[in-house]
Structure 1
Amino acid sequence: MHKQDFEQLLQEKLATLDKHKQPERDLWPGIELALIKQQDEVRNVHHLNDSAQHSQNPLAREVGKFVMLAAAIALVALVSWKNLMPSKHMITGDELVAALSAQHEEQKSALLIQYQGQTALTQNWQQQLAELDSAAVAIKKALENEPNNMALLKMLQSVHQQQINLIERVHSPKWSQA
């Protein structure tokens, strides 16, 4: 088949298609998940690059390792406990949201205690933290209607990570580390 014949056949087929046909299902959740995944990949690449370019002070590094280890142990303990307990159902979206929120609050509190008394780089960082908190509340409210929506769960996780990054960046800017 020649290119001109193919183009003509393609144009004929396109002309016969129903112009008002709607998708069989809502495509937005899949698009949203793909966008979030793409943003997370870009953010992770930047985070890895930032980490490779500078080193933290030894105390902050040790506390950070401790917080991450404690969070991992808490998550493993929660999952193990849920698997060992005889139950009629698996962990629900509501329980997962509660576990993620609890883990995040522990990590955020540990960072705030670690940086207590240090001068912050900006004055409005607490306002930014509050805005991220209200975003997390809105996502949690949406999760009440769709507790197993993976896109919403990823968004919540992303907001939590943004809060942690904000706290770390305003108290330990990379330009002040040598």
Structure 2
Amino acid sequence: MNKRDFDKDLRVQIDALSNEKQPERDLWAGIEIALAEEAAPNEQNKKNNTESSFKMIAIAASFALVCVLSWFSLQPATEQITGQDLVAALSSQHKAQKDALLVKFQDQPALTENWQKQLTELDEAADAIKAALKHDSNNIALLKMLQNVHQQQIDLIERVHSPKWRQI
């Protein structure tokens, strides 16, 4: 069968069909129910979408509040001091601690005679470190050295006046 005969035969069969086909039952009731069911979920979805958007906004606002409060709580209450101010603060704190120890142990006899000479040498070392810090006040290594010299002075005073073998 060639294409021309097929098209002609198809056209004859289509023309033979009746133009009007009646449904076997009333379809409008089913269509009406389907439209009502389709509209109800849309209204429910709109309600759920509104509720979920409010929940998301509330969660986002809570998260933002927590972030802001955390940020401000992590900020230091006072500004950190650096440079010569830090050296001065370390020195004054050490001097106060050293003076307090000397007053505490002034009535106790020292175990060695040359402890004050050692204390003076440590003072000279601290002065040399402070002079170096004037040129490079944020040098961490020098700051640690200064703290170490200060701690050596405190340890010297405590060991000379209150040795471990005397303590219980």
TM-score by length of 1: 0.50
C-alpha distance after superposition, 1:76-112 (max 9, x if no partner)? xxx85x43xxxxxx62310000000000000000000
> Which stretches in structure 1 are left out of the alignment for 5+ residues?
1-78, 84-89
- Asked whether 1:151 is paired with 2:141, we answer yes
- Asked whether 1:122 is paired with 2:122, we answer no
SS at match of 2:107: coil
- Asked whether 1:171 is paired with 2:165, we answer no
Counterpart CA distance in 1 for 2:105 and 2:81 is 35
1:113 shift after superposition: 0.3
Identity score, percent: 67
Answer 1 or 2: higher relative contact order, Cα 8 Å, separation at least 6.
Answer: 1
Q: Tell me the C-alpha RMSD between the 2 structures.
A: 1.4
1:177 shift after superposition: 2.1
Counterpart CA distance in 1 for 2:149 and 2:84 is 17
Counterpart CA distance in 2 for 1:156 and 1:91 is 16
Between structure 1 and structure 2, the one with the greater Rg is: 2
Aligned length: 93
1:175 shift after superposition: 1.3
Match of 1:99 among 89, 101, 116: 89
TM-score by length of 2: 0.53
> Which stretches in structure 2 are left out of the alignment for 5+ residues?
1-75
Match of 2:101 among 111, 114, 129: 111
